[in-house]
Structure 1
Amino acid sequence: MPPLALSMITLGIIMGTLMVTSSNHLLTAWLGLELNMISIVPVIAKQKHLRSTEAATKYFLTQAAASALMLFSSTLNAWQTGSWDITQLNETSSSLMIPALAMKMGAAPAHFWLPEVLQGSTITTTLLITTWQKIAPITLLYMMPNHTQSNIMLLMGTLSILIGGWGGINQTQLRKMMAYSSIAHLGWTITAMSISPNIALLNIVIYMTMSTPFFLMLESTSSKTLQTVTTCWSHSPTTTTTLTLLLLSMAGLPPLTGFTPKLLILDSLVTHKLTSMATMMALLSLLSLTFYLRTTFLLTSTAPPTTNQSMMLWRLKPHHSQAMATLTPIALFNITMLPAMLM
């Protein structure tokens, strides 16, 4: 891609997100989302392959439908209340805005586009879609008066955890598996958004912190399937060990970082007398734990004394990102921050 085009696309993605996060006006937020969407479509379609073209088309159509629903909700709210402020949404407009933002993020039941789009994109683009592209919709969801639609949020969050865990069990493609992992983590975020928005914000930040070094390591080892990930130990045992810890952290096992937001969300649910909901979410998270542990087993199955016949040195990319080295310790062992978060 030419440097000028890359600079314009990068500027559009950044400016679109910043426009949404710094605006209270619904039309300005909608304009920022449109700018964000138009900027990332060429990034998805830059590969000269039919899968990337298909992924870009699916992403564009889905995001356009979500934008139309969001614009209809905004217009309806302005017609009924005379206000374009996102914090002044009435119950009807809020009921339409939440599904629109869920479709933007890829949360269930509007999750159908996310696995296919990620499978047709590069790993770097997959990282961008699962992290940066979720900032703007989650910010709008954070600003909305969600207490009036808590039942919708809880139902959508539980359904996302179920589908995210169930859909990822039979996946052999790492990008599709991480797509369902993203759906499951969005379920935890949406559930917490209606009862404790600050904990929901903490959850999505920690997820982005964990997934960024994971995708960067997949990019450095050129691993795209469960079969190719088994050869990582041959040329980089440190990377394999870190990938294993990151997977266990995303699964939510203590004392790793991923355990922190899940514990806070379950505690908040029990505090609000939603013990049955907390129990159901904890049980459904075992589905996600299944494919996390399966991938962890495949990563460690080739460790000594087991020998691997294929070295696959041609897959190694010697240059590692500084962001990967910086975020990995934070993504693994910030459980020591838990007492400060609870105060």
Structure 2
Amino acid sequence: MFKNSYKLLFLFSLMLGTMITISSTTWISAWMGLEINLLSFIPLMSDNKNLMSTESSMKYFLVQAMASSILLFIVIIYMMNSNFYSNFNQNFYFNLLMISTLMMKMGMAPFHFWFPNIIEGLNWINSLILLTWQKIAPLMLLSYMNMNQIIIPMIIISMIISAIGGLNQTSLRKIMVYSSINHMSWMCASMLLNKSIWLNYFIFYSFLSITLIYNFYINKLYYMNQLYSLYNYSMEMKLIFFMNFLSLGGLPPFLGFYPKWMVIELLSNNQLFLISIMVMLTLLTLFFYIRMCYSSFLLNYYEIKWNNMINMNNKHYLYLILSFISIFGLLLMNILYFMF
């Protein structure tokens, strides 16, 4: 009882720190919100029964503390300048350092090296928080910046690393990390011309991540070879499961294609070269999603035929509802649009 109570307290502090950051009017108060968020998440990561989670929490603290120190140093240096508020977003070096620091905090390439190692020691609940909620505050601060052409090389590098890094992975948590880096690149690209579309993209990305991670959580899946012998899953349930992967990758006609559709439409007039590179590199991320589907369906492996019916419970019914929205959401949106 006491253990659950203190976890709820830290979870509330985690949410409070994010709210302080996104509602702040000064960089100092935004930094304070980030620190509250960091110090609240560390106890949630730690688990006395798992030494890897303790190691991950220590690594996460060191990386985030370094990024917070750099951010505070930049803000103090520029506050000492008498023309700080007049050239706040016009200074190239200020923008470059701030963007790099915020990318380090949310684990976006090329500052992502801590991300795969840390998430490997976490359970799926903490991984979901790290992949979704912990990115809200840095993304919101990043949307305040005057990025112009500074972030375009970083977006391309991030897309390349996310595409290549996920090809040789067998850990599902690391695959979700590189998928997250890919989606963060799309969100940053949308910030070039529109400061609000990234929020819509983030909502769709969070929903798709929750759908997949919820299935990993209830079936205790952590590595790719566990997908090949899901004895409790019928072929239909496997098909639904892997269609969720394709939806996360942005393959039409699934729901995951809709946020990419918005960004492509936004950038097709002004950033045609950038969006062309992003679409081509996203096809590589779809490749390692399809590789898992191909291996699980077509490889010859032993399966218990008489135990091929899933034992349905409330957890699986919830998963089916989420999967239905993920798979048929785009079609339902179009039908409702033409009806109303």
Q: Indicate whether the TM-score tops 0.5.
A: yes
Query: Which of 171, 183, 186 lines up with 1:188 in the alignment?
Result: 186
Q: 1:81 to 1:211 in 2, by over 3 A?
A: farther
Partners of 1:296 and 1:209 in 2: how far apart?
Answer: 21
Name the counterpart of 1:31: 32
Comparing 129-138 with 46-55, greater Cα deviation is found at 46-55
Name the counterpart of 2:169: 171
Partners of 1:250 and 1:51 in 2: how far apart?
Answer: 28
Partners of 1:138 and 1:310 in 2: how far apart?
Answer: 48
Q: 1:270 to 1:221 in 2, by over 3 A?
A: same
Comparing 74-83 with 173-182, greater Cα deviation is found at 74-83
Contact 2:20 2:29 in 1 (8 A): yes
Partners of 1:124 and 1:316 in 2: how far apart?
Answer: 23
Partners of 1:317 and 1:94 in 2: how far apart?
Answer: 52
Q: Which amino acid aligns with 1:230?
A: Y
Query: Which of 281, 292, 297 lines up with 1:295 in the alignment?
Result: 292
Q: 1:245 to 1:234 in 2, by over 3 A?
A: same
Q: Give a deviation string over 1:104-155, Cα, whole Å, max 9, x none.
A: 11101100111111111001111110011111111111233x2xx3222111
Partners of 1:188 and 1:310 in 2: how far apart?
Answer: 43
Partners of 1:93 and 1:55 in 2: how far apart?
Answer: 31
Contact 2:211 2:322 in 1 (8 A): yes
Name the counterpart of 1:231: 229
Q: Which amino acid aligns with 1:16?
A: G
Q: Give a deviation string over 1:51-80, Cα, whole Å, max 9, x none.
A: 212211111111111111111222233222
Comparing 247-256 with 235-244, greater Cα deviation is found at 235-244
Matched, 1:115 2:116: yes
Name the counterpart of 1:69: 70
Q: 1:119 to 1:213 in 2, by over 3 A?
A: same
Name the counterpart of 1:330: 325
- Percent of residue pairs bearing the same amino acid type: 31
For residues 199-210 of structure 1, what are the structure 2 equivalents within 5 Å?
Answer: 199-210=197-208
Count, aligned residues: 332
Gaps (5+ residues) in structure 1? none
Contact 1:164 1:288 in 2 (8 A): yes
Normalising to structure 2: TM-score of the pair?
A: 0.88
Q: Give the drift of 1:241.
A: 2.9
Gaps (5+ residues) in structure 2? none
Q: Secondary structure at the match of 2:196?
A: helix
Q: 1:316 to 1:88 in 2, by over 3 A?
A: farther
Contact 2:232 2:311 in 1 (8 A): no
Q: Give a deviation string over 1:297-330, Cα, whole Å, max 9, x none.
A: 2343479xx86149999x9895518874554343
Partners of 1:172 and 1:120 in 2: how far apart?
Answer: 15
Contact 2:162 2:179 in 1 (8 A): yes
Partners of 1:33 and 1:330 in 2: how far apart?
Answer: 33
Partners of 2:209 and 2:135 in 1: how far apart?
Answer: 13
Contact 1:106 1:183 in 2 (8 A): yes
Query: Which of 217, 239, 252 lines up with 1:219 in the alignment?
Result: 217
Normalising to structure 1: TM-score of the pair?
A: 0.87
Partners of 1:331 and 1:47 in 2: how far apart?
Answer: 36
Name the counterpart of 2:303: 308
Please tell me the root mean square deviation across aligned C-alpha atoms, in Å.
2.9
Q: Give the drift of 1:157.
A: 1.4
Contact 1:54 1:120 in 2 (8 A): yes
For residues 77-92 of structure 1, what are the structure 2 equivalents within 5 Å?
Answer: 77-80=78-81, 88-91=88-91, 92=93
Q: Give the drift of 1:82.
A: 6.3
Q: Which amino acid aligns with 1:19?
A: I
Contact 2:162 2:178 in 1 (8 A): yes
Partners of 2:27 and 2:104 in 1: how far apart?
Answer: 17
Q: Which amino acid aligns with 1:25?
A: T
Name the counterpart of 2:263: 265
For residues 73-152 of structure 1, what are the structure 2 equivalents within 5 Å?
Answer: 73-80=74-81, 88-91=88-91, 92-144=93-145, 146=146, 149-152=147-150
